[in-house]
Structure 1
Amino acid sequence: MNLIAWNCRGALEASFQNYVRDLVNIYNPAILIVMETKIGGERAWDITARLPFDGAFHSDTIGYAGGLWLLWDSSRVEVTTLSSTEQEIHATVQVRNSNFSWLLSAIYASPRYAERQMLWNNLIKVAELHNMPWVLAGDFNEPIMGEDKYGGRPVSVNRSLMLKECLDLCNMIDLGFTGPRFTWTNRRDIQGLIQERIDRFFVNPSWCLLYPEARVSHLTRCHSDHCPVLLELQPTVRNHRVRPFKFQRFWLSDVSFPKVVENVWGRISGLTEAIDTFQHEATVWNKLHFGNIFAKKRKIMARLNGIQRVVAVKPSSSLLDLENKLLKELDVVLGQEQELWALKSRINWMVQGDRNTAFFHVSTLVRRKRNQILAIKNGVGEWLHAEAEVMDYIRKGFSDIYTSSSISSGRIQSGFSQWQARLTEEEKESLGSPVTEDEIKAGLWSLVL
């Protein structure tokens, strides 16, 4: 299960909803914490209703500033909100099919120091009221040490000590991170560039015992001046399986596709050979024409991630200019991706009404989710959710069906252990010598008697 915390710097941007769907598609978070949304009330609920989460809780905004959302997938986690302020949301989280729950505190610390002090005091009081496994996640708006900041004024010792004291009294642990060092940047030229690590996950020791393999990753920053931060509770190794060939109806909309069909079916007479050749040629053609959109996107995201890593260590004007250029290229590719989602949705929306890329995207995701096998029940009635467990159970089932039940004895290995009894040389010679008449008579008499 994954959690993501992201300061979006405003949820009214057109790219916000698309980027959230992108995060869900790639990292599949069960819980998403969104900070600095800058909207509340009915408009906030209208936006969260369009996102791929069926559970939501909003904290109040301060005018047009602030805003903290806690979103979750109720099919995977049960979230019960306990209390909230403008800077925090406290809730208990129980992972489905588990017997334990833990406390989650979503944080958006105010840019004003006096209000942040109130938040630190509230967290200390919360720590005194429970002994549950606990996670603090969000934007703390305060670097803790000098290594957490680049450029601008030095880190304030007094303010960082206040946060450290709060974390110590709450018995919190920093899990570390992978990815670019800093989570926020002012995105200015090299002379005025400031970068900070202020978006974090903290956990207490009892939570670490529940998820000892948990890890934190700083994701690529592209739609905000803050990067999303990913917490993986149980990281798994992805199995890259070979997907079966599927004919996509949107291929027919491309003018070059009939030539692919003509080249294959025109030169090959055998049906089986023609089908196999067509599958290969169509797969290659799809990768070069449609699949390159996703390849471009991955390449741009990878380059952005690399640039942000370097800028965190040794910033330069050329790197900042290249980052801005790549962000513009990413916007173009995302527009092309929306067009592709519309084709892949398999719904003829041109006949039904106006184009709505969000509708196409959601309908595609719903169809994919419906076609997935997310869990399987084993012979004793337990549900298996991990992909590797499901694969092993199915493989074992086929092995049990087609494997013979007869028991065969293994071959006895030659050689003797030093603890085994052995025949002496005299005994070996006695057994191998010819049988005498006296021995035959003695044997016969023993049978008669």
Structure 2
Amino acid sequence: MKLLSWNVRGLGKPRTVRRLRHMLRDLKPDVIFFIETMVHENKMANIRRSFGYPNGIDVSSVGRSGGLSIGWKNSCNVNLRSFSARHIDVLFNGDSDGCHWRCTGFYGAPEEANRLESWNLLRGLNDCPETPWLIIGDFNEIMYSFEKQGGRVRSERQMERFRSMIEDCSLDDLDYLGTWFTWQKGRMADNNIRERLDRGLANSFWRDLFPDFSLKHLSHTFSDHCPLLLDTNKGLMGPPDQWVFRFEASWLLERTCELEVKRLWGASSGHLLHRLEYLKTGLWKWATALRRNRRHKESMLRKRLQDLAQAFPSDENLHELVDTQLEINLEMDKEELYWEQRARVNWLRNGDRNTTFFHRHASERRRKQRISKLTDADGSEVEETDAMSSIATNYFVDLFSTAGSTNVECILSGINPCITESMNTELDRDFDGEEVLRAIKSMSPLKSAGEDGLGAIFY
């Protein structure tokens, strides 16, 4: 999902609206949040609908200051939680996976005297600490002095109050790409002031839900603030032709897994690689259906367990109570195995059953591995996937190529042969099935799979 947040500094002029409409056509965000619209809510609602966002909440400006608007496409399932002149708080509901997360579009008080009131507003909104929560917008404040260039020095007390609110709400400042500062004024070098006033904040539950998010500071031609473009799915799935299959160890805990593998293999035909592709496609469809039902199943099991715990302790109820507990434990084992595989460590076997720890470890590992941009041979930075792929390919082609002589006899002449004829005969011998099976069995089951996505645990 893409979310565009921007302090537009007024949408009362037709020219500004036209430019913004053109920008939205290029970016195609699913959700928009505009700050300082400087128009009445009825006019803003008409503008928002003309942009192609039929659903939304609009807050009127006070005279020629303020005004908020959030809009979303029909594909988004959104519920309003609360709003004011400083914020709009909504809940996103995941229809397919059952995931819920909060998004608060925020506009911090421009006046320093009212800034503390803004921070207390966010503290008051922090009423569901375990719900994934994102806050994005114009905070009208910086966290540290290095987030400002030019003008008078910012009061340390002001910045400390901002940081204190972030800590009280258990939030993190989101990493971003693009220009460092998000606001500036003054067109001459001696009066130019730049600050990072716009940002995204999120709690750990939101970061765990979207470990591969991308937040970009975009260039712009109007407004003194730059737009923020958040993509929650950045890096999770590549283009359709780059779909990657991975056999999940947790699938082996499903009663139907082995039967499904046998059914798919029996239904496949052709050479080995073709049959493996058929198997992987079928397993992915089977696993997708499992994921849709897992959260609902665990919720129903826990509700059933609560009902049985309060029911009369008959033999039948006690027997069903034990069975329900076992099923819940099995669902938890599946989740733990899922995250252990992603963390690629063996701590679960050593007694550590902290699923949250594995989740964070795996998520952090993915963040570190993500490549957001590369520098080509000319020193230019590129962020497009195809361009980065070309740079990486060319780099390794050049690395493993040589423009010099390939005559290495003079080097080899100084090396004494150590491979005997009998050793060479053994090395040239054809592989047999038992030898291959022994090699597979000796591999760590949860380590990296090959190109086919079928790790050693599958065999």
Q: Distance in 2 between matches of 1:74 and 1:159?
A: 40
Q: Who is 1:342 aligned against?
A: none
TM-score normalized by the length of structure 2: 0.52
Q: Who is 2:91 aligned against?
A: 92
CA contact (8 A) 1:180 1:218 kept: yes
Given residue 27 of structure 2, which amino acid in structure 1 is its aligned partner? Y
The structural deviation recorded for 1:17 is 2.6
The 3 A distance-change label for structure 1 pair 116 and 408 is: closer
The 3 A distance-change label for structure 1 pair 25 and 407 is: same
CA contact (8 A) 2:41 2:59 kept: no
Q: Who is 1:316 aligned against?
A: none
Q: Who is 1:137 aligned against?
A: 136
Note the alpha carbon deviations across 1:232-291, whole angstroms, 9 max, x for none: 11114998xxxxxxxxxxxxxxxxxxxxxxxxxxxxxxxxxxxxxxxxxxxxxxxxxxxx
SS of 1:224's equivalent?
Answer: coil
Q: Distance in 1 between matches of 2:194 and 2:5?
A: 18
Q: Who is 2:59 aligned against?
A: 59
Q: Who is 1:192 aligned against?
A: 191
Q: Distance in 2 between matches of 1:169 and 1:404?
A: 57
Structure 2's unaligned 5+ residue stretches are 246-263, 274-427, 436-459
State whether structure 2 residue 11 is matched by structure 1 residue 11: yes
Q: Distance in 1 between matches of 2:18 and 2:218?
A: 16
CA contact (8 A) 1:21 1:52 kept: no
Q: Distance in 2 between matches of 1:85 and 1:236?
A: 34
CA contact (8 A) 1:60 1:85 kept: no
State whether structure 2 residue 29 is matched by structure 1 residue 29: yes
Given residue 405 of structure 1, which amino acid in structure 2 is its aligned partner? S
Given residue 22 of structure 1, which amino acid in structure 2 is its aligned partner? H
Structure 1's unaligned 5+ residue stretches are 240-385, 393-399, 421-449
The 3 A distance-change label for structure 1 pair 55 and 187 is: farther
Counterparts of residues 426-445 of structure 1 (less than 5 Å): none
The 3 A distance-change label for structure 1 pair 129 and 42 is: same
Q: Who is 1:204 aligned against?
A: 203
Q: Who is 1:222 aligned against?
A: 221
Q: Distance in 2 between matches of 1:237 and 1:19?
A: 31
CA contact (8 A) 1:184 1:196 kept: yes
Counterparts of residues 6-405 of structure 1 (less than 5 Å): 6-75=6-75, 77-236=76-235, 387-388=240-241, 405=269
Q: Distance in 2 between matches of 1:407 and 1:57?
A: 57
Counting matched residue pairs gives 261
SS of 1:163's equivalent?
Answer: helix
CA contact (8 A) 2:5 2:227 kept: yes
Q: Distance in 2 between matches of 1:63 and 1:408?
A: 71
The structural deviation recorded for 1:389 is 7.5
The 3 A distance-change label for structure 1 pair 237 and 172 is: closer
In the TM superposition, structure 1's runs of 4+ consecutive aligned residues that sit over 3 Å from their partners are: 236-239, 386-392, 406-409, 413-417
Q: Distance in 2 between matches of 1:188 and 1:238?
A: 42
The 3 A distance-change label for structure 1 pair 5 and 41 is: closer
Given residue 46 of structure 1, which amino acid in structure 2 is its aligned partner? N
Note the alpha carbon deviations across 1:193-229, whole angstroms, 9 max, x for none: 0011111011110001111011211000211111101
Q: Who is 2:457 aligned against?
A: none
Given residue 208 of structure 1, which amino acid in structure 2 is its aligned partner? R
Q: Distance in 2 between matches of 1:220 and 1:211?
A: 25
CA contact (8 A) 1:187 1:225 kept: no
The structural deviation recorded for 1:175 is 1.6
Q: Who is 1:338 aligned against?
A: none
SS of 1:33's equivalent?
Answer: strand
CA contact (8 A) 2:171 2:201 kept: yes
SS of 1:122's equivalent?
Answer: helix
Q: Distance in 2 between matches of 1:197 and 1:55?
A: 30
**Larger Cα-atom Rg:** 1
SS of 1:191's equivalent?
Answer: coil
